[in-house]
């Protein structure tokens, strides 16, 4: 076969294969476009926000923007987005603040900003008496590294941070154990019978006991929280919120940081913002740390009512 | 640059396009530039080290080629060996031997202070290209190979990107003539190379990287997983992971070379179908075992010496081979274990024959071979524990707990499997499917030529296969993994 003909044949075959591969990948497009990639992707594929809910997985699962929007209506600029991730990704710090700056529309003046606080989201690794340089691992995650946070499809996120094999996308979407809503609320559907909840609660408490033994309240994170509040105040109303947790975890938090509540009160006074402490609230959790789906509806309703006053 | 990266997906077609588009006399230069670019994508400054050792080996080879007498060539051989092995020692082994010496002095209560540790990063692939260069220089010294007079061609022999960082460790006699030849665009060969690359990619991203997700949590913190069944599962998974990873890398390397018109030697021949440990080493990492055979074992006297000396030779070769893999006692023990297996295998051969006659196994060669395959697999898998464990302590912990905690009820088995699959049940099924498919294809490959079989199929069948493999890689692949295991050596 002449060389030119062979080259053309090879290129045609490779093109065909590439088209077949692209068609195969395109089967996932409906899932990707609905934001059903993982528990985070949708927040980076939504448009820039006018109001934000911030914090870790407690806030991600516990505060529903739709409930607040329904109760508070046009009292703040929309869209209201739950931009809370996990303790690994979004503890308060300069990386999270930079990501918040990217996500918030710069022209917002009357936004609503729910800043969920707890001792863990203000802690860093190492015991207070031994740490010299604080390390903030989230700086190396998508929170610190992803610069385009309002793009659909978000190719930067999909190529760098989507870690699941592709076959899991439609499976996870179909089973919907975790479903990220377009407003950023993370719906989690897991077993809620007493035995399951008890086992999860015990395991979670153990995890947090380990954290308490190996972490300290971080001056760096505290300073970043102050900067975050300062920044958000220029764009609207800021409210500090401590979410409800189970009794065991609440006792551990009190033991880990007995002065935490006073520190938050002081912070709210310094910045003239409200502080709502619901930590002892009677809401059911899945594991002592995260509110159950029904409880998140009730809690969001109560939060909306308190914000409306 | 990894073979399974977007970077390589752009780099390789570009190199292939330019390679066949350029007049033949420029192609070598292109491949050399591409190879150094490939290497510099890890750490640019280490290309200088590669260039320096290449220049010294080239010069030593040329000087030796002008000396008719071996005795006269010896200083050049020594210079080259000292520079190659010295570099390897400084970058790879200095801290290891320093720490070992300090520990020994501490044990013996000797008042020896520790010198400073070297904070050097191990240049990727240094063990591979050093051994390739050393093989070349010994061949020239022995007069088995004419020294390469063209520096560019020699530099390409050392740095050729498909095999630069993890082999196969090629011989000058096999590669240098290929670099002298012109390679025309050959449709059939290119397609065959691409098929091999696709299969290698499957083994890497679908089999090995998936198994790594199951293996790593157990091997990285074995004390949190002291249950025997879980440790056995993780060990089995690693046994297939390392095969998928390394043979997958080799297929990618051989496929890439074939696309460019070059042939590398076979590095794996279905090693888990071996019926004895010696046979395993004739099928696993063939380029390294044959290197050790030709440049260490035979010069030591091989098996043509007194039995005790032959056993010593075997043990020594495998201890060195263990150390070649990594500056850690885990690798030394792994090599030592294989050395011991080989010594015992040789020593007990008459007893095995006697036993086979007495039990009647000798009359059933198929059954005897099957038994041999099973026993060899268990021995090899056990040795992998030392290869994979982060510390000798971890390896011993795993060894001690392999047979504990087997009294399980159904609920415990379910919990264990759930833990092992990272709480995502389909992963176990996908892993089993991927390993099964890999083994089935490899088994087929031991009896037929898969390439010839595929080429003989009607186009529709071939295309269903191609598209199916592409979709399997796309959908089941893990694309966020780090390096190939053997890149660290």
Does one domain contain both B284 and B375? yes
Q: Taking residues B23-49, report their average pLDDT.
A: 93
Residue among B185, B426, B480 whose CB faces A7 most closely: B185
Q: Which residues of A touch B190 (CB under 8 A)?
A: 10
Question: Is-contact B252 B161, C-beta < 8 A?
Answer: no
- The string of DSSP letters for B39-108 reads HHTT-TTHHHHHHHHHHHHHHHHHHHHT--SHHHHHHHHHHHHHHHHHHHIIIIIHHHHHHHHHHHHHHT
Indicate yes or no: CB of B187 within 8 angstroms of CB of A167: no
Does one domain contain both B15 and B139? yes
Does one domain contain both B480 and B367? no
> Domain span at residue B285?
276-390
Q: How far is B121 from B94, CA to CA, in rounded Å?
A: 12
Residue B1 in domain: no
Considering only alpha carbons, which residue of chain B is nearest residue A6? B187
Considering only alpha carbons, which residue of chain A is nearest residue B424? A168
The pLDDT, as a whole number, for residue A61 is 97
Percentage of chain B beyond pLDDT 70 is 97
Residue among A6, A21, A168 whose CB faces B185 most closely: A6
Nearest to B246 by CA among B97, B386, B438: B438
Q: How far is B326 from B316, CA to CA, in rounded Å?
A: 16
Does one domain contain both B317 and B413? no
For A285, list phi and psi in degrees, rounded to 5: -115, 165
The pLDDT, as a whole number, for residue B484 is 65
Per-residue confidence at B54, pLDDT binned at 50, 70, 90? very high
Overall domain count for chain A? 1
Residue among B187, B191, B474 whose CB faces A1 most closely: B187
Q: How far is A16 from A18, CA to CA, in rounded Å?
A: 5
> Which segment of B68-72, B296-300, B323-327, B422-426 scores lowest on mean pLDDT?
B422-426
Per-residue confidence at B488, pLDDT binned at 50, 70, 90? low
For residues A62-94, one letter each, b for 16 or more C-beta atoms within 10 angstroms of the residue's C-beta and e for the rest, the string is: bbbbebbbeebeeebbbbbbbbbbbbebbbbbb
Does one domain contain both B71 and B143? yes
What SS3 class is residue B109? coil
Residue where the block lists tokens 């290449």: B54
Question: Is-contact A84 A62, C-beta < 8 A?
Answer: no
Does one domain contain both B255 and B299? no
Does one domain contain both B364 and B244? no
Does one domain contain both B205 and B290? no
Asked if residue A129 has pLDDT above 60, the reply is: yes
Residue B124 in domain: yes
What SS3 class is residue B192? helix
Does one domain contain both B16 and B155? yes
Per-residue confidence at B47, pLDDT binned at 50, 70, 90? very high
- In Å, what is the CA distance from B119 to each residue of A190, B92, B127, B145, B249? 49, 11, 18, 38, 29
What SS3 class is residue A157? helix
> Which segment of A137-146, B21-30, B55-64, B224-233 scores lowest on mean pLDDT?
B224-233
Q: Which residues of B touch A10 (CB under 8 A)?
A: 187, 190-191
The pLDDT, as a whole number, for residue A191 is 86
Nearest to A90 by CA among A224, A182, A267: A224
> Domain span at residue A300?
30-308
Q: Encoding tokens for residue B51?
A: 């260039």
Query: In this complex, is the C-beta atom of A166 within 8 Å of any C-beta atom belonging to chain B?
Result: yes
Residue B17 in domain: yes
Between β-strands A236-242 and A111-116, what pairing exists: parallel, antiparallel or unpaired?
parallel
Per-residue confidence at B111, pLDDT binned at 50, 70, 90? confident
Q: Encoding tokens for residue A207?
A: 């995890």
DSSP 8-class letter at A218? -
Residue A9 in domain: no
Question: Is-contact A183 A66, C-beta < 8 A?
Answer: yes
Segment B415-470, tens digit of pLDDT = 778 777 776 778 889 999 999 999 999 999 888 888 889 889 998 999 999 999 99
- The string of DSSP letters for B116-178 reads PPP-PPPPTTHHHHHHHHHHHHHHHHHTSSPPP--HHHHHHHHH-TTTTTT-----HHHHHHH
Of B174, B183, B285, B325, the catalytic one is B325
Residue among A9, A21, A163 whose CB faces B470 most closely: A21
Considering only alpha carbons, which residue of chain B is nearest residue A177? B424
Residue B398 in domain: no
> For A178-273, where are the E strands, in sequence order?
178-180, 186-188, 215-217, 236-242
Q: Encoding tokens for residue B129?
A: 């290209």
CATH number of the structural domain spanning residue A261:
3.40.50.1110
Q: Encoding tokens for residue A128?
A: 């207070």
Q: Encoding tokens for residue B34?
A: 């591409």
For B205, list phi and psi in degrees, rounded to 5: -85, -25
Residue A11 in domain: no
Nearest to A167 by CA among B478, B244, B433: B478
Residue A13 in domain: no
Segment B138-155, tens digit of pLDDT = 999 999 999 999 999 999
Residue A92 in domain: yes
Helix (H) or strand (E) run with residue B232 in it: helix B228-259
What SS3 class is residue A135? coil
Asked if residue B410 has pLDDT above 90, the reply is: no
Asked if residue A275 has pLDDT above 70, the reply is: yes
Considering only alpha carbons, which residue of chain A is nearest residue B195? A14
Q: How far is B228 from B400, CA to CA, in rounded Å?
A: 9
> For B356-462, where are the E strands, in sequence order?
none
Indicate yes or no: CB of A20 within 8 angstroms of CB of B467: yes
Query: What is the separation, in whole angstroms, between the first and last Cα of chain A?
Result: 82
- In Å, what is the CA distance from A47 to each residue of A42, A109, A146, A154? 10, 17, 15, 11
Nearest to B96 by CA among B120, B130, B125: B120
Asked if residue B482 has pLDDT above 70, the reply is: no
Question: Is-contact A141 A123, C-beta < 8 A?
Answer: no
Question: Is B325 one of the annotated active-site residues of the chain?
Answer: yes
Nearest to A120 by CA among A225, A233, A47, A191: A225
- C-alpha distance from A217 to closest chain B C-alpha (Å): 27
- C-alpha distance from A17 to closest chain B C-alpha (Å): 7
Residue B371 in domain: yes
Q: How far is B232 from A42, CA to CA, in rounded Å?
A: 40
Omega before A153 cis (within 30°)? yes
Average pLDDT, chain B: 90
Asked if residue A43 has pLDDT above 60, the reply is: yes
DSSP 8-class letter at A49? B
Helix (H) or strand (E) run with residue B10 in it: helix B6-21
Residue A291 burial class via C-beta count within 10 angstroms: exposed 0-12, middle 13-18, buried 19 and up:
buried
Q: Encoding tokens for residue B298?
A: 């035979």
The pLDDT, as a whole number, for residue A230 is 97
Q: Which residues of B touch A178 (CB under 8 A)?
A: none
Q: How far is A59 from A63, CA to CA, in rounded Å?
A: 5
Residue where the block lists tokens 């660290």: B488
Nearest to A42 by CA among A189, A190, A186: A186
Omega before B227 cis (within 30°)? no
Residue A184 in domain: yes
Does one domain contain both B74 and B131? yes
The pLDDT, as a whole number, for residue B140 is 96
Residue A265 in domain: yes
What SS3 class is residue B477? coil
- The string of DSSP letters for B432-476 reads HHHHHHHHHHHHHHHHS-HHHHHHTS-HHHHHHHHHHHHHHHHHH
Percentage of chain A beyond pLDDT 90 is 67
Residue A85 in domain: yes
Indicate yes or no: CB of A159 within 8 angstroms of CB of B470: no
Q: How far is B373 from A252, CA to CA, in rounded Å?
A: 55
Per-residue confidence at A175, pLDDT binned at 50, 70, 90? confident
Segment B347-376, tens digit of pLDDT = 999 999 999 999 988 899 999 999 999 999
Residue where the block lists tokens 């076969």: A1
Residue A96 in domain: yes
Does one domain contain both B200 and B68? no
The pLDDT, as a whole number, for residue A168 is 85
Nearest to B55 by CA among B151, B141, B173: B151
Q: Which candidate in A28, A167, A196, A200 is best for mutational testing of the B interface (most B CBs within 10 A)?
A: A167
Q: How many CA atoms lie within 13 A of B33 on its CB side?
A: 11
Residue among A9, A16, A167 whose CB faces B475 most closely: A167
Q: How far is B145 from A223, CA to CA, in rounded Å?
A: 69
Residue B270 in domain: no
Asked if residue B11 has pLDDT above 80, the reply is: yes
- The string of DSSP letters for B241-296 reads HHHHHHHHHHHHHHHHHHHTT--PPP--S-GGG-SSHHHHHHHSSHHHHHHHIIII
Question: Is-contact A224 A96, C-beta < 8 A?
Answer: yes
Overall domain count for chain B? 3
The pLDDT, as a whole number, for residue B438 is 95
Does one domain contain both B10 and B138? yes
Residue B397 in domain: no
């Amino acid at each position: 076969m002449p060389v030119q003909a062979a080259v053309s044949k090879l290129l045609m075959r490779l093109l065909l294969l590439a088209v077949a591969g692209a068609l195969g990948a395109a089967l996932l497009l409906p899932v990707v476009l609905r934001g059903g990639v993982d528990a985070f992707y949708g927040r980076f594929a939504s448009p820039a926000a006018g109001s934000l809910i911030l914090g870790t997985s407690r806030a991600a699962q516990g505060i529903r923007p739709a409930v607040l929007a329904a109760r508070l209506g046009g009292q703040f600029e929309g869209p209201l987005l739950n931009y809370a991730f996990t303790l690994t990704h979004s503890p308060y710090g300069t990386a999270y603040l930079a990501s918040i700056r990217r996500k918030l529309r710069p022209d917002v003046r009357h936004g609503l900003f729910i800043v969920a606080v707890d001792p863990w989201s203000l802690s860093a690794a190492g015991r207070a008496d031994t740490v010299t340089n604080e390390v903030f691992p989230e700086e190396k995650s998508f929170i610190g590294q992803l610069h385009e946070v309002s793009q659909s499809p978000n190719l930067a996120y999909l190529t760098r941070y989507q870690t699941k094999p592709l076959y899991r996308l439609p499976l996870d979407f179909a089973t919907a154990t975790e479903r990220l809503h377009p407003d950023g609320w993370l719906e989690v559907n897991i077993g809620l019978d007493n035995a399951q909840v008890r086992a999860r609660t015990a395991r979670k408490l153990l995890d947090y006991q380990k954290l308490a033994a190996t972490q300290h309240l971080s001056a760096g994170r505290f300073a970043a929280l102050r900067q975050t509040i300062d920044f958000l105040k220029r764009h609207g109303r800021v409210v500090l919120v401590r979410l409800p947790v189970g009794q065991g975890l609440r006792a551990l938090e009190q033991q880990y940081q007995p002065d935490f509540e006073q520190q938050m009160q002081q912070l709210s006074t310094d910045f003239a913002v409200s502080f709502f402490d619901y930590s002892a609230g009677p809401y059911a959790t899945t594991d002592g740390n995260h509110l159950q789906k029904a409880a998140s509806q009730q809690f969001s309703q109560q939060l909306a009512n308190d914000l409306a006053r | 640059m990894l073979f399974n990266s977007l970077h390589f997906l752009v780099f390789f077609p570009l190199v292939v396009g330019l390679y066949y588009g350029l007049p033949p006399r420029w192609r070598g230069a292109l491949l050399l530039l591409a190879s150094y670019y490939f290497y510099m994508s890890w750490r640019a400054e280490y290309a200088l080290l590669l260039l320096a050792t290449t220049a010294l080996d080239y010069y030593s080879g040329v000087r030796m080629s002008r000396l008719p007498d071996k005795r006269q060539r010896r200083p050049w051989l020594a210079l080259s060996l000292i520079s190659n092995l010295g570099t390897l020692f400084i970058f790879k082994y200095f801290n290891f031997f320093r720490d070992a010496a300090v520990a020994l002095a501490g044990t013996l209560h000797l008042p020896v202070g520790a010198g400073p540790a070297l904070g050097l990063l191990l240049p990727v692939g240094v063990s591979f290209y050093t051994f390739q260069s050393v093989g070349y220089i010994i061949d020239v010294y022995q007069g088995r190979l004419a020294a390469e007079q063209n520096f560019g061609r020699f530099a390409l022999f050392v740095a050729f990107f498909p095999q630069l960082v993890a082999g196969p460790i090629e011989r000058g006699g096999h590669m240098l003539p290929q670099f002298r030849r012109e390679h025309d665009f050959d449709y059939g060969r290119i397609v065959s190379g691409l098929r091999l690359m696709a299969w290698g990619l499957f083994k890497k991203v679908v089999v090995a990287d998936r198994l790594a997700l199951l293996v790593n949590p157990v091997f990285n913190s074995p004390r949190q997983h002291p249950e025997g069944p879980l440790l056995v599962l993780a060990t089995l998974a690693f046994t297939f992971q390392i095969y998928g990873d390394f043979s997958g890398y080799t297929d990618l390397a051989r496929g890439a070379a074939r696309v460019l018109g070059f042939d590398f030697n076979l590095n794996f021949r279905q090693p888990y179908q071996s019926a004895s440990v010696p046979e395993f080493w004739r099928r696993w990492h063939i380029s390294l075992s044959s290197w050790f055979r030709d440049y260490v074992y035979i010069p030591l006297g091989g098996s043509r010496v007194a039995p005790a000396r032959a056993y010593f030779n075997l043990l020594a070769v495998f201890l060195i081979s263990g150390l070649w893999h990594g500056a850690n006692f885990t690798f030394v023990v792994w090599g030592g274990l294989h050395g011991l297996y080989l010594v015992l295998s040789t020593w007990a051969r008459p007893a095995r024959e006697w036993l086979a006659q007495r039990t009647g196994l000798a009359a059933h060669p198929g059954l005897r071979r099957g038994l041999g395959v099973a026993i060899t697999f268990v021995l090899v898998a056990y040795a992998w524990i030392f290869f994979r464990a982060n510390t000798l302590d971890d390896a011993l912990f795993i060894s001690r707990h392999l047979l504990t905690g087997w009294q399980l009820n159904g609920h415990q088995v379910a919990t264990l499997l759930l833990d092992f699959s990272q709480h995502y049940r389909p992963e176990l099924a996908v892993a089993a499917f991927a390993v099964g498919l890999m083994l089935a294809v490899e088994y087929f490959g031991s009896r037929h030529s898969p390439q010839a079989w595929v080429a003989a199929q009607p186009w529709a069948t071939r295309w269903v296969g191609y598209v199916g493999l592409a979709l399997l890689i796309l959908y089941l692949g893990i694309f966020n993994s780090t390096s190939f295991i053997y890149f660290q050596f």
